Amino acid sequence: MATTYQGDEALNRLLEEDKSAFDAAAVRDLIAGVLAAPAADPGDSWIVLAAPRAGNELTGQLAALKEEIASALGDPAPWSPDRLADLRAFLKDTGLNGIVVPRSDEHLGEYVAKRSERLAWATGFTGSAGLAVILAERAALFVDGRYTLQAAQEVDAALFEILPLAADNGDWPPGLWISEQLSEGAKLGYDPWLHTSRQVSQLGRAAEKAGAELTACPKNPIDAVWKDQPPPPLAPVFPLADDFTGSPSAEKRAGLAATLKQDGEEAAVLSAPDSIAWLLNIRGGDVPFSPLPLSFAILNGDATVDLFIDGRKLTPEAAASLGDGVRIATPDAFGAALDRLGKDAKTVRVDSGLSPAWISDRLKEAEARLKTGDDPCQRPKACKNETELDGMRAAHRRDGAALTRFLAWLERAVADGGISEIDAADQLEALRRQGDHFRGLSFPTISGFGPNGAIVHYRVTSASNRILEPASLYLVDSGAQYLDGTTDVTRTVAIGDPNLEMRDRFTRVLKGHIALASAIFPKGTSGSQLDVLARRALWEAGLDYAHGTGHGVGSFLGVHEGPQRISKLPNRVALEQGMVVSVEPGYYKEGAYGIRIENLVAVIPASVAGEAETEMLAFEPLTLAPIDLALVEPGLLDAAERDWLNDYHARVADEITPLVDDETATWLKLATRPLEDPFKD
Amino acid sequence: MATTYQGDEALNRLLEEDKSAFDAAAVRDLIAGVLAAPAADPGDSWIVLAAPRAGNELTGQLAALKEEIASALGDPAPWSPDRLADLRAFLKDTGLNGIVVPRSDEHLGEYVAKRSERLAWATGFTGSAGLAVILAERAALFVDGRYTLQAAQEVDAALFEILPLAADNGDWPPGLWISEQLSEGAKLGYDPWLHTSRQVSQLGRAAEKAGAELTACPKNPIDAVWKDQPPPPLAPVFPLADDFTGSPSAEKRAGLAATLKQDGEEAAVLSAPDSIAWLLNIRGGDVPFSPLPLSFAILNGDATVDLFIDGRKLTPEAAASLGDGVRIATPDAFGAALDRLGKDAKTVRVDSGLSPAWISDRLKEAEARLKTGDDPCQRPKACKNETELDGMRAAHRRDGAALTRFLAWLERAVADGGISEIDAADQLEALRRQGDHFRGLSFPTISGFGPNGAIVHYRVTSASNRILEPASLYLVDSGAQYLDGTTDVTRTVAIGDPNLEMRDRFTRVLKGHIALASAIFPKGTSGSQLDVLARRALWEAGLDYAHGTGHGVGSFLGVHEGPQRISKLPNRVALEQGMVVSVEPGYYKEGAYGIRIENLVAVIPASVAGEAETEMLAFEPLTLAPIDLALVEPGLLDAAERDWLNDYHARVADEITPLVDDETATWLKLATRPLEDPFKD
């Protein structure tokens, strides 16, 4: 239906006929915002924003106009050194000797909108974590270990020193660099919207060491010189039904208001988009991989919310769903609202670890009574209710069916030969896409064969793409967003005959997975207390893995969420009933292969033989997909471990078989066959 | 040799003859200090302090004089309400509305000298932890769960509210009580020598909430009104030979000076007696159970030490051993020395968690550059060198022999009947006393039968004393100080036939002990990461224990030492090679019985099959004594656990049999018989 755009005059007529509040100029603005969001899925859901009652002709014209604007925009320009020159000229004009450029937006989340890719704009580096410091004469880009190679490829080494983001001895290399490179009396600019207060203090101390000064920029200097910077994204915001959320927003707001009251607080400022989406039962698409609308909110003691959001992105259903308890204002009005909290001498909770320094600074200036505390949505959001858990279970059945079909296909396709990492990732996505409620991937698929599998955060490119061929291991870590839940699963598959070492390592990772997944633990236990269970079998062989063991996962929200985690690092957050976490021990042999076995699990009450003296919790596996038996060394499993694996596989077969084609079902039957005791005669 | 004291005149003559620097009056002062220390062992080692070359006659007279003074002193007076009245009158006179009375001394250690038992003096409560707040009209005593009963017995409830020291919700009850009870404008006194800076801040916030003020007292108000307060203790300080320490003090001092230099510091203030004892290779006896001289010290960047100590307690050997690098000054000179650090604008490290606020306050006033950091002795002291480890091993063989003889005796004695908890503890101490290098117990023996065993910190009294009779469990947690090492061991023994539940619980505790004791873990792992290993088998049955799993142990120093520990609580301190920790999971059934299996273990390099990819560590059991097989349910152990137990028992039999009498050896052979696989036919 490739309609040609008929011009603004014709569009204005159609808009008027179909009772749109927009004229062509306003529609063009809207489309600019829509195009600043990641590609929506389905692609034309935005049209309702311009004209809720659009007929076929208007719909066609709007789609055509969007196409026209998109092709006029073209691909983003590649990085050029002119950008650095422009930025430095601007800094000089504004009396700054340098600027800090983090890879974060005003919401400090994992994924950012196109307009917030300031680090990539300034340096050329497109990784998901990093920090640049740009001074008049020198500049440095700090990246973590997983991005050293990529940064070297993408960034002009004549202009940027590439340095590690963290040091083993606990030093903070950007701070050291700043202390060394800044001259006395220099002014180093930063954008208080893009750092927490703690990060600002850290930067401040570094500048102070050099006798220099850290200065908050009233406007981000990159925004000032980035000529074709995309506008704020305008992905449609839609309501998520109570069937999925299990709790109306009014109920959540009343609950949190009671919490605030108990803590002697009269309001809480929310800047984390997943908190706001959870609280208001809305979803959107302003950033990749997470269904998040970007906005700010103030939760008031009377259970009402002031939501600072571009109203154009609210679908009529979303606007209606928010109801009387939620007042909509433009993002511009946010600062004044904080000032009002101060003027009214309110006691206001701010999560200093999650929110930008700008918010605390403004509240302090306004003389509000600032109380730092946890974002009040974080804990209740992490503890899924029964509806959410049922949704997660349903989403995991569909996701497991897609993954099982993929694994069955992979075995056949690899035998035929020529399957690459990209082919495999595409096939898996295509199979997932067929599932109900599918809303896109929950993160970029890690599809790594052989040595690429040993790169923990590997992301296949056409340059790195490998063919899956005997004999090594293929590691695929992937997940999807569904209206009823978010998934994240890793399976490692033998391609050809695995050698003894691979089977030994895989079985140790599996033992760790089982030990953690089958743990029974008292209420109050944190993830860090349990972490060792996943590592013990590796440690016994002098092996380990250099990443955390588990992260929280949202309900059709971020695939990484707090506050709980399972990790070597100390953490006092207890694992509570309803929390969903990943269990993902691994083993990586550099230059050879990688192994990871990841299921999501939900925290549930434990049943123990006899009477428990204290309230006990356990994990329920949510993920349903076979674990490659070709990689299991049965002699390394004890009876309880073997029982766990057999029970798990029986459950996978039970739940997934009805959802897959016959060919896959036949494959699955073999893939989930029970292991026998190797020592039994 | 009950000589009668012949009078001061005769003594003066003898002192002069034997070239003592003391006259009778000085000797009387010295003896007052000697009597203010716990009973020395051996009892007359102090005589060398008065007269290094004392002949028999002088020795006899000095001993007789000490006896005379001791009997004149008599027993300490019992608590009387007059004390409270005197204290309140003094507070009123000095313009204070109240005072905080902690159970700590100027060194903030676990055990305190008699003169520092201010909490007991003021309240009557003799427990080892607690805090009182005494206001003009009201007073409260805060104790933890283990002391609730004892406090109720010892303290006049009409005068003191007895309240918990900690709250489950993280509140600090003393702070809440202070906030509620203090009137606006009131002044609450505290002794800055007896609290860390953090504790002072906590108290200050509580007072502030009431609109009151926290005021540092220039002199402790209790000292002002405690008429017969003992003087500072003067137990003889003696050198510990390099044969025991493995490292001359000069070497240690040079090492620490290098550390300070590296950290940009020019001095460190030491207030922890075990740090100073370790650094200077001296021991003493000013407090019970730990061989500690009380003193303060400044470690200088040039590797010299200024030691602030009452020189009268230094034996000639100790004085000689300290050498040129250690300058001796009186405790009174300590403040002026801190002032000098300030005057010289030195950068000074202070451990704010271990040292009293007084020190930081004084340094700040003096404008020294204060750097808070760890007491530099703590980590090297915790990591025992090979000589110290060999000493620990030797001490544990002797200690294990004594404990084995005790266990063999216990079986016979219980069969004869009438053995009480006190009888058992006395017998165990008597057997230990026969060992070489014995220098007393390392803590009060916990000797608990049946329900008393379920009281984690039980200390038997004549009122609580139970007879050991079938059928229940007897728990004995005990340890000793030897010149070459410190021990701490718990064994639980079936008295009569244990029931199935007891055997199940004991075996689960044993499984936890084995899991932790046999752990292999990468360098950098902390005790909190390993804690779960000790609890898992209990958790699986819905059970747990409400105490930590392991603590550090000194080398002929404190039986509890940091910085490492094994516990549910987060802790980033890595377990390092040479550290000694206890492994002591337990299970307690209130009103019925208690179980604990405790060995000390040393951290050693691990050997793994194949090549370890990362440096791995493991534990070597130091404690050598049988674990009661009557309580082991073999069907609950897996093959690896059974092997561990059999290997451990084989080692116990090997090392202990040559050290015990034939009767014990026969008993030990049976007690360490190998368990067979119960499922093997």
Q: Token pair 């012949």 is at which residue?
A: B6
Q: Token pair 């039957």 is at which residue?
A: A669
Q: Token pair 């219980």 is at which residue?
A: B414
Q: Which residue of B lies nearest to A587 if distances are taken between CA atoms? A: B613
On the CB side of B678, how many CA atoms lie within 13 Å of its CA? 9
Two tokens, residue B431: 């057997």
pLDDT of residue B41: 53
pLDDT of residue B270: 98
Please state, in angstroms and rounded to a whole number, the distance separating the CA atoms of residues B12 and B26. 10
**Secondary structure element (H or E) that encloses residue B642, with its range:** helix B639-656
Percent of chain B with pLDDT over 90: 93
Is A69 an interface residue toward B (CB < 8 Å)?
no
Q: Reduce the DSSP state of residue A44 to 3 states and report it.
A: coil
**The one-letter amino acid at A71:** S
What is the per-residue DSSP string for B425-482? HHHHHHHHHTSTTEEEESS--EEEEGGGGGSTT----TTT--B--SSEEEEEEE-EEE
pLDDT band at A42 (very low <50, low <70, confident <90, very high): low
Two tokens, residue A221: 């200097």
Whole-number CA gyration radius for chain B: 26
What is the per-residue DSSP string for A519-584? -EEETT-BHHHHHHHHHHHHHTTT---SS-SEEE--SSS-SSEEEEEESSS---PBP-TTBEEEE-
- Beta partners for A449? A474
Is A540 an interface residue toward B (CB < 8 Å)?
yes
Is the pTM here over 0.95, yes or no? no
Is A592 an interface residue toward B (CB < 8 Å)?
no
Identify all chain B residues contacting A571, using CB atoms and an 8 Å cutoff. 570
Positive or negative, the Cα torsion across B113, B115, B116, B120?
positive
Is A568 an interface residue toward B (CB < 8 Å)?
yes
Lowest mean pLDDT among B444-448, B459-463, B652-656: B459-463
Please state, in angstroms and rounded to a whole number, the distance separating the CA atoms of residues A440 and A444. 10
- Beta partners for A300? A267
Minimum distance, in Å, between the CA of residue A640 and any CA atom of chain B:
11
Is B520 an interface residue toward A (CB < 8 Å)?
yes
Of A530, A542, A572, the CB nearest to B532: A530
Is A591 an interface residue toward B (CB < 8 Å)?
no
- The reply to whether A238-378 shares the fold of A81-225 is yes
Identify all chain A residues contacting B531, using CB atoms and an 8 Å cutoff. 529
pLDDT in tens, B20-34: 999 999 999 999 999
Residues 6 or more apart in contact with residue B439 via CB below 8 angstroms:
B41, B291, B480, B481, B482, B483, B556
pLDDT in tens, A119-157: 999 999 999 899 999 999 999 999 988 888 889 999 999
Is A263 an interface residue toward B (CB < 8 Å)?
no
pLDDT in tens, A566-596: 999 988 999 999 999 999 999 999 999 999 9
Please state, in angstroms and rounded to a whole number, the distance separating the CA atoms of residues B597 and B477. 9
Give exposure, A114-132, as e/b (b: 16+ Cβ within 10 Å). bbbbbbbbbbbbbbbbbbb
pLDDT in tens, B140-193: 999 988 888 889 999 999 999 999 998 877 789 999 999 999 999 999 999 999
Q: Which residue of B lies nearest to A501 if distances are taken between CA atoms? A: B610
| Cβ <8 Å between B608 and A541 | yes
Please state, in angstroms and rounded to a whole number, the distance separating the CA atoms of residues A124 and B506. 63
| Helices (H) then strands (E): counts for chain A | 23, 28
Is A572 an interface residue toward B (CB < 8 Å)?
yes
Q: Token pair 């055509």 is at which residue?
A: A64
Identify all chain B residues contacting A638, using CB atoms and an 8 Å cutoff. 638
Q: Which residue of A lies nearest to B525 if distances are taken between CA atoms? A: A568
Chosen from B504, B526, B529, B573 to mutate, greatest number of chain A CBs within 10 A: B529
Of A532, A543, A570, the CB nearest to B572: A570
| Cβ <8 Å between B614 and A543 | yes
Of B531, B572, B616, the CB nearest to A539: B616
pLDDT in tens, A368-411: 999 999 999 999 999 999 999 999 999 999 999 999 999 999 99
pLDDT band at B42 (very low <50, low <70, confident <90, very high): low
Residues 6 or more apart in contact with residue A550 via CB below 8 angstroms:
A516, A527, A534, A565, A566, A567, A581, A582, A583, A584
Identify all chain B residues contacting A568, using CB atoms and an 8 Å cutoff. 525, 529
% helix, strand, coil for chain B, step of 5: 40, 20, 40
Chosen from A504, A535, A543, A569 to mutate, greatest number of chain B CBs within 10 A: A543
pLDDT in tens, B347-403: 999 999 999 999 999 999 999 999 999 999 999 999 999 999 999 999 999 999 999
Give exposure, A261-280, as e/b (b: 16+ Cβ within 10 Å). eeeebbbbbbbbbbbbbbbb
Across B296-307, average pLDDT: 98
Q: In degrees, to the nearest 5, what angle opens at C-alpha B679 toward C-alphas B676 and B681?
A: 85
pLDDT of residue B609: 82
**CA proximity to A421, closest of A470, A457, A455, A461:** A461
DSSP designation for B331: G
Whole-number CA gyration radius for chain A: 26
Of B529, B540, B608, the CB nearest to A532: B529
**CA proximity to B602, closest of B395, B365, B316:** B395
**Secondary structure element (H or E) that encloses residue A224, with its range:** helix A221-225
Please state, in angstroms and rounded to a whole number, the distance separating the CA atoms of residues B425 and B458. 12
As to burial, measured by CB atoms within 10 angstroms (0-12 exposed, 13-18 middle, 19+ buried), residue A377 is buried
pLDDT in tens, A72-127: 998 889 999 999 999 999 999 999 999 999 999 999 999 999 999 999 999 999 99
Two tokens, residue A356: 């930008």
- Beta partners for B267? B300, B348
Minimum distance, in Å, between the CA of residue A592 and any CA atom of chain B:
14
In this structure, are residues A278 and A307 in contact, taking their beta carbons and an 8 Å threshold? no
**Secondary structure element (H or E) that encloses residue B551, with its range:** strand B550-552
pLDDT band at A679 (very low <50, low <70, confident <90, very high): confident
Two tokens, residue A546: 């250099």
Is A608 an interface residue toward B (CB < 8 Å)?
yes
| Cβ <8 Å between B541 and A638 | no
- Beta partners for B604? B618
Two tokens, residue A585: 């021990």
Two tokens, residue B540: 């699986």
In this structure, are residues A306 and A300 in contact, taking their beta carbons and an 8 Å threshold? yes
pLDDT of residue A40: 57
Identify all chain A residues contacting B523, using CB atoms and an 8 Å cutoff. none
Of B533, B543, B614, the CB nearest to A544: B614
Of A521, A532, A536, the CB nearest to B539: A521
Across B484-488, average pLDDT: 98
Across B215-226, average pLDDT: 97
pLDDT of residue A610: 81
Q: What values do phi and psi take at A400, rounded to 5? A: -65, -35
Q: Between B163 and B40, whose confidence is greater?
A: B163
Taking the CA atoms of residue B273, residue B276, residue B280 and residue B283 in that order, the dihedral angle to the nearest 10 degrees is 10
| Cβ <8 Å between A536 and B542 | no
Q: What values do phi and psi take at B550, rounded to 5? A: -165, 150
Res A438 pLDDT > 90 = yes
Identify all chain B residues contacting A612, using CB atoms and an 8 Å cutoff. 541-543
What is the per-residue DSSP string for B495-513? ES---HHHHHHHHHHHHHH
pLDDT of residue B2: 60
pLDDT of residue A493: 98
- Assigned CATH topology for domain B81-225: Creatine Amidinohydrolase; Chain A, domain 1 (3.40.350)
Chosen from B540, B565, B680 to mutate, greatest number of chain A CBs within 10 A: B540
pLDDT in tens, A635-663: 999 999 999 999 999 999 999 999 999 99
Of A520, A529, A539, the CB nearest to B522: A539
Is A564 an interface residue toward B (CB < 8 Å)?
no
Domain ranges (residues) in chain B: 8-73, 81-225, 238-378, 386-671
pLDDT in tens, A631-641: 999 999 999 99
Minimum distance, in Å, between the CA of residue B116 and any CA atom of chain A:
36
**The one-letter amino acid at B50:** A
| Cβ <8 Å between A528 and B613 | no
Identify all chain B residues contacting A531, using CB atoms and an 8 Å cutoff. 529
Identify all chain A residues contacting B525, using CB atoms and an 8 Å cutoff. 568
pLDDT of residue B681: 57
- Beta partners for A600? A582
pLDDT of residue A55: 95
Two tokens, residue B394: 């030797």
Minimum distance, in Å, between the CA of residue A358 and any CA atom of chain B:
28
Please state, in angstroms and rounded to a whole number, the distance separating the CA atoms of residues A580 and A562. 10
Q: What's CA B115's distance to the chain center, in Å?
A: 18
Of B531, B609, B613, the CB nearest to A529: B531
Two tokens, residue B365: 């006033």
Q: What values do phi and psi take at B630, rounded to 5? A: -65, -20
Minimum distance, in Å, between the CA of residue B420 and any CA atom of chain A:
30
Q: Which residue of B lies nearest to A528 if distances are taken between CA atoms? A: B529
pLDDT in tens, B78-104: 999 999 999 999 999 999 999 999 999
Of A533, A572, A613, the CB nearest to B570: A572
As to burial, measured by CB atoms within 10 angstroms (0-12 exposed, 13-18 middle, 19+ buried), residue A93 is exposed
Please state, in angstroms and rounded to a whole number, the distance separating the CA atoms of residues B126 and A460. 68
Write the CATH number of the domain with boundaries A238-378: 3.40.350.10
Please state, in angstroms and rounded to a whole number, the distance separating the CA atoms of residues B188 and B181. 11
pLDDT of residue B305: 98
As to burial, measured by CB atoms within 10 angstroms (0-12 exposed, 13-18 middle, 19+ buried), residue A658 is exposed
Length of chain B (residues): 681
pLDDT of residue A342: 96
Of B520, B522, B571, the CB nearest to A570: B571
Query: Given the DSSP bridges, would you call strands A438-441 and A369-372 parallel, antiparallel or unpaired?
Result: unpaired
As to burial, measured by CB atoms within 10 angstroms (0-12 exposed, 13-18 middle, 19+ buried), residue B68 is middle
DSSP designation for B176: H
pLDDT in tens, B580-639: 999 999 999 999 999 999 999 999 999 888 888 899 999 999 999 999 999 999 999 999
**The one-letter amino acid at B197:** S
Say whether the ipTM exceeds 0.95. Answer: no
Q: What values do phi and psi take at B567, rounded to 5? A: -165, 160
Is B539 an interface residue toward A (CB < 8 Å)?
yes
pLDDT of residue B40: 57
Minimum distance, in Å, between the CA of residue B668 and any CA atom of chain A:
32
**The one-letter amino acid at A575:** L
Query: Given the DSSP bridges, would you call strands B305-308 and B296-300 parallel, antiparallel or unpaired?
Result: antiparallel
**CA proximity to A377, closest of A281, A234, A238:** A281
Is B571 an interface residue toward A (CB < 8 Å)?
yes
Of A529, A541, A638, the CB nearest to B610: A541
Two tokens, residue A325: 């308890």
Contacts 24+ apart (CB under 8 A), B248-254: B248/B281, B249/B279, B249/B280, B249/B281, B249/B321, B249/B322, B249/B323, B249/B325, B249/B326, B250/B303, B250/B323, B250/B325, B252/B278, B252/B279, B252/B281, B252/B380, B253/B279, B253/B299, B253/B303, B253/B304, B253/B305, B253/B325, B254/B303
| Cβ <8 Å between B532 and A533 | yes
CATH 3.30.360.10 fits A386-671, yes or no: no
pLDDT of residue B589: 96
